[in-house]
Chain A
Amino acid sequence: MRTRTGYWVLGLVFLGLLSIYAQREGLTYPLENAILRLLAPFQAPFSRAGLWLNSQAETLQNLQTLPEERRKQQELIQNLTRELVRLREVELENARLKEQLKYRGQAPGGEYLAATVLAREPRGGVQTLLLDRGAQEGVKVGMIVVASGGLVGRVTQVYDTVAKVLPITDPSSTVNAMVQRPDSRASGLVVGQPGERLTMKFLPATEEVKAEDVIITSGLGGGFPKGILIGKVTEVRQRDVEAFKEAELTAAVPLRRLEEVLILLDFQPKRLDER
């Protein structure tokens, strides 16, 4: 009996090592694709059920503050409507000026593909989102994913019907970013942290950055288009002896309750060796 268990263990260790190698070589793609195809039809109802339960719990919690919330929302809608009208004017003016200057900007044209978040998995220090769009819909590795006007992450793996996204809160994710304020355009690097947090590093110590500052993508490096909202500064840390300061950010998009996202189809990130 013990010998048989020993064979099992040895077999699985061999299989484990083999599959790590095979995945690196892309040989496990058909297996992964088949399992994801099999699970995908079940993932959407499970995800919807979880989000529905969460919204019911939130509704119960917010019942007492509902009238006040409604008044605030109406105020917000009025303010946003005024802002929208003003921005339309600015956009028209901007387009006219660009035309006159023959300026070719780097802002993306805006061809988006809507996708539903099927699963979220934060195991092994790697955060992953699974979307219900894949190669069949034209999704490619490196494409940018946004939601509610904020940056979510970028596509890292594409299968026939689903795609995996590395969120910006993953510790291996880095985004070139800048402060969006007329008197400060300080730039730095937004890095994901454990626990779905964000830190902006390498902010010059001489630049003024304060809480509530809005942080957007800077477009530097070519990995992300310029001008996508990342989040807001909550805290700034600086030591006298250091040339840089750091800022803690709140992500504009709360990943845990993310339901729908948009994949930016017309932006191809530049690779360093292409330049």
Chain B
Amino acid sequence: MSYLLAFPILALLALLQTSFLPPLLPLSQGPNLVFLGLLSWALEAREGPGLFWALVGSVLLGVLGGVPLGLYLLLFALLVPLAAATRRWLVLPTLPALLLLGFLASIFAEAPVLAVMEALGRPIDWPGHTTLVLVPQAVFNALAMPLVYWPLRWLAVRMGAQTIQVVA
């Protein structure tokens, strides 16, 4: 079930990210909801489904955006087990923890992509990209992280997909 949900949920997040949100945001950047979705699932589900979500998410980001198709997959293949390893600290995730996680994960996800794109020959102006792309995206991702994480956590609990059960 966890595998079957990957495409509809991540496709919905992709539609919100690329079609619905851009006219509403005050900056040219916005949250990477697909990334936050698969990150949230990696925090809640087992590594296998988490990595399958990473596969679907990276294909969607590659198809809808301008980065090479497999680039996000390489990154997410390494990030998802890392996220899964941190899940013990988020058994009872608080709002500040989610905001911090969204911010840091965004920087760790997007900065290597920019570095690879530069290696592939794209002009990357690091000071400009840091202040106008990386940091605004990280702030948007931090703000959106609870909005993506809580519904997906609720879904994971309903489906029994969680690896760690919260005992009241």
Contact = CB atoms under 8 A, between A and B. Distances in A.
Interface of A: 1, 4-5, 8-9, 12-13, 15-20, 22-24, 28, 31-32, 35-36, 39, 42-44, 46-47, 49-51, 53-54, 57, 118-128, 130, 156, 164, 166, 169-172, 193-197, 255-257
B66 interface: yes
A256 B25 contact: yes
B61 to A, nearest CB: 6
A256 B81 CA distance: 35
B67 interface: yes
A196 B28 CA distance: 6
Contacts of B70: 15-20, 22-23
Closest 6 CB pairs of A and B: A126-B66, A195-B132, A19-B70, A12-B77, A119-B18, A16-B73
Contact of A47 (B20, B74, B78): B20
A171 B65 contact: no
A2 to B, nearest CB: 9
A122 B29 contact: yes
A37 B167 CA distance: 45
B23 interface: yes
A82 B47 CA distance: 68
B64 interface: yes
B87 to A, nearest CB: 13
Contacts of B124: 125, 171
B63 A8 contact: no
B64 A125 contact: no
B123 A119 contact: no
A50 B18 CA distance: 10
A125 B114 contact: yes
B45 interface: no
23 contacts: A1-B47, A5-B48, A8-B47, A8-B77, A12-B73, A12-B74, A15-B55, A19-B70, A20-B74, A31-B63, A36-B63, A46-B15, A119-B22, A120-B19, A124-B114, A125-B113, A125-B114, A125-B122, A125-B133, A126-B66, A130-B64, A171-B124, A256-B22
Interface in B45-71: 47-48, 51, 54-55, 58-71
Contacts of B24: 50, 53-54, 57
Interface in B14-38: 14-25, 27-30, 32
A166 B59 CA distance: 20
Contact of B69 (A32, A47, A170, A197): A32
A124 B71 contact: yes
B22 A13 contact: no
B22 A50 contact: yes
B60 A43 contact: no
A123 B113 contact: yes
Nearest to A193: B128
Nearest to A197: B132
A38 to B, nearest CB: 8
B20 A49 contact: yes
A126 B122 contact: yes
